[in-house]
Amino acid sequence: MNKKNLRASGIILLFTALWMISGYFGQTEPEQYEAPVEKEVVLVNKSSATDYSLPVTIKAESRAFSKVDLRSQTSENIVSVPFNDGDYVNQGQTICKLDSGQREANFKKTKIDFDSAKELKKKGLASESALVTAETAYERARIELERTNITAPFDGFVESLAKQGQLLQNGQKCASIISLSPLKIVGNVSEVIISKIRAGQKAKIKFISGEEYDSEVTFVSSAADIQTRTFQVESELKNDDLAIKDGLTGEFIIFTDPVKAHFVPTSAFLLGDQGNVALALLDEDKVYFRNVEILIDTVKGAWVTGIPNEANIIVGGQGFVKEGDQVIPRYK
């Protein structure tokens, strides 16, 4: 090969090399294509919290405010029983009259002796000790006589009456008397909700017989029952017409102090990994989640706390979004 051909071949190789080098360094990265992020469409309720009083319903029964057994303080035959079982009696009326013949005679004698001792003392013919002895005997006889007349300590219904002619021993029952006005309503609240109950809260009493009465809580026990670990609560009904009897059962509904709460449809709730109940909310079309406390649930939804007083609650599509997602809201 002559020099001219060698020079031509070198030039060709040089251009080829330059072309290849320029092609390598001239390459550019292909443009990355980013598909647009599709925003989830969600259904949203605008909710404003309202005052809600959680009703606590417990089983209850009516109880007489005063219920006592009238017992004899002496031993004598019953000579008179002026009432029948179920009669209404007034305070001070005789329920059982016992034989008082011997006691009346003794009372009259000691009264005469006492009166005489007082007169003799005035004239200086009796000592102070003699007067005291006579007075003591008189008072003892008076008390013994009073024990033969068993009377009603308050207004009420008389029951379980002893029979006329019966020998009533010391301590034996003559009758029972029950006062039904006012009347107590008694129930027991669990330790889980006792902190929500206080005296003065509104209440409703529903008896199994159908009667309903508005009332309020009058007493909350400060100590739990050792056996049941529940706390006794009471209400009071006037029962002026005496229509409510002792021992009626029913429901004692207590309305707790109102709190700000939202009513949320059942479909909106989410269940967390730890079993907590949560809601998906929106803040400027961005999703966030909050755990909530369910106060009470119904067929249509539940009253809850734990979210802002003004809240945008996702009620449809909440299962397809996560914290921080931008969404397209559709308000109901």
Q: Give 190's strand partners.
A: 230
Q: What is the 8-class DSSP label of residue 239? A: -
pLDDT in the model for residue 16:
55
pLDDT in the model for residue 37:
59
pLDDT in the model for residue 25:
45
pLDDT in the model for residue 207:
95
Note down pLDDT in tens along the chain; length 332 residues.
Answer: 444 454 445 555 554 554 555 554 445 555 555 555 578 899 999 999 999 998 999 999 999 988 999 999 999 999 999 999 999 999 999 999 999 989 999 999 999 999 998 888 888 888 888 889 999 999 999 999 999 999 999 999 999 999 999 999 999 999 999 999 999 999 999 998 999 999 999 999 999 988 999 999 999 999 999 999 999 999 999 998 888 999 999 999 999 999 999 999 999 999 877 788 999 999 988 999 999 999 888 888 999 999 999 999 999 999 999 999 999 999 98
Domains and CATH numbers, the chain: 41-52+259-331 (2.40.420.20), 56-64+183-255 (2.40.30.170), 70-176 (2.40.50.100)
Give the CA-trace dihedral at 151, 154, 159, 161, to 10 degrees: 0
CB 241 within 8 A of CB 223: no
* CA dist list (Å): 295 to 239, 258, 261, 263, 276: 33, 11, 9, 10, 14
Strand ranges, E, within 72-172: 76-80, 88-89, 94-98, 149-151, 156-159, 167-168
Antiparallel, parallel or unpaired: β 259-265 and 50-52: antiparallel
**Contacts for 41 with CB less than 8 Å, ≥ 6 apart:** 317, 327, 328, 329, 330
CA angle 266, 270, 272 (to 5 degrees): 145
